[in-house]
């Protein structure tokens, strides 16, 4: 196959992909999305996949809490990755016991049976962000098109269950893992595109759990790490997984300690300071 035929074949594949994505978004209310003048000046130069993504974005995240936190150093952001799954409902039951306590769910479509939990998360006032549709790192990070497709499918999934479009992202494995996996262009170019498109991605400042840790150890470790961040110019963003029962069970202890010590619990929203993990030397 010569070069020209190869290009034609690639163009045909991309056209089929764009048509399929367009049909996927046909049910979305386009009034939610930004007017053309809100798009990056050079958006017409982007690939068809990226244009489609831009045209289906709006410029605010959803969540709850004050638009301007009164004391960021006393704000805790509890975040839960990889759900919803069979433990998510119990976590929501625990959270419902507390007034004015909100968290963030970075969600996937790994457990079809529990996707209705997305509706409850949103109705309860929690923030919902894009994690991954499949969480298959080798697949989604293998090309620009596959990552964009996975992101858009997850965004559409959230819209289908909540009626709201989110611009919050957490890379599967975190940005440091994404940086190691990504083979298309450069990681910095990709994140620049996402931010210019209205997205923001969030890592975490506290790794709060381990597979072999007890519930009490997990809660105590999380609290110790929160205290270690006091006086530092960093947001307090804790990583948990609602796929791990010990993480779910320890949350009450973390919340009660926080409330007793003057902290508030908020979902990530447009006012939350973004945190990106420092680049690790490899």
How is the chain split into domains, by residue range?
Answer: 3-265
pLDDT of residue 102: 97
pLDDT of residue 124: 96
pLDDT of residue 185: 62
pTM of the model: 0.78
Instruction: Write b or e for each residue in 55-92: b if 16 or more Cβ atoms lie within 10 A of its Cβ, otherwise e.
Output: ebbbeebbbebeeebeeeeebbbbbbbbbbbebbbebb
pLDDT digit of tens for each residue in the chain (282 aa)? 443 443 344 334 333 433 333 333 333 333 333 433 445 555 555 566 565 665 555 434 444 333 445 577 899 999 999 999 999 999 999 999 999 999 999 999 999 999 999 999 999 999 999 999 999 998 998 887 788 889 999 999 999 999 988 989 999 999 988 888 876 567 888 888 888 888 899 999 998 765 555 666 688 889 999 999 988 989 999 999 999 998 899 999 999 999 999 999 999 987 888 899 886 654
Name which CATH class applies to 3-265.
alpha beta
Distances (CA, A) of 29 to 58, 65, 118, 154, 163: 11, 25, 19, 17, 9
Instruction: Judge whether 61 and 166 are in contact, CB under 8 Å.
Output: yes
pLDDT of residue 280: 61
Chain position carrying tokens 């929160």: 226
pLDDT of residue 148: 84
| Virtual torsion, Cα 25, 150, 143, 21, nearest 10 deg | -10
pLDDT of residue 25: 34
């Amino acid at each position: 196959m010569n070069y020209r035929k190869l290009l034609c074949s690639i163009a045909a594949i991309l056209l089929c992909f764009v048509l399929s994505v367009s049909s996927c978004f046909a049910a979305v209310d386009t009034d939610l999305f930004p007017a053309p003048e809100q798009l990056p000046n050079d958006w017409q130069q982007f690939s068809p996949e990226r244009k489609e993504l831009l045209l289906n974005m709006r410029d605010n995240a959803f969540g709850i809490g004050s638009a301007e936190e009164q004391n960021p150093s006393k704000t805790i952001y509890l975040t839960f990755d990889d759900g919803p799954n069979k433990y998510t409902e119990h976590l929501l039951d625990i959270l419902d016991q507390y007034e004015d306590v909100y968290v963030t769910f970075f969600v996937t479509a790994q457990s079809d049976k529990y996707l209705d939990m997305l509706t409850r998360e949103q109705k309860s006032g929690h923030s919902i962000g894009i994690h991954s549709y499949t969480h298959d790192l080798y697949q989604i990070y293998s090309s620009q098109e596959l990552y964009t497709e996975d992101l858009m499918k997850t965004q559409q999934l959230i819209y289908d269950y909540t009626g709201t479009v989110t611009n919050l992202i957490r890379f599967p494995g975190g940005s440091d893992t994404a940086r190691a996996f990504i083979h298309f262009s450069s990681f910095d170019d990709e994140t620049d595109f996402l931010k210019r498109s209205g997205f923001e991605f969030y890592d975490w400042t506290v790794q709060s759990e381990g597979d072999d840790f007890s519930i009490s150890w997990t809660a105590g470790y999380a609290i110790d790490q929160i205290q270690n961040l006091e006086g530092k110019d960093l947001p307090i963003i804790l990583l948990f997984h609602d796929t791990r029962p010990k993480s779910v069970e320890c949350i009450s202890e973390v919340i009660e300690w926080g409330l007793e010590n003057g902290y508030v619990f908020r979902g990530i929203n447009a006012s939350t300071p973004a945190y990106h993990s420092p680049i690790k030397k490899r």
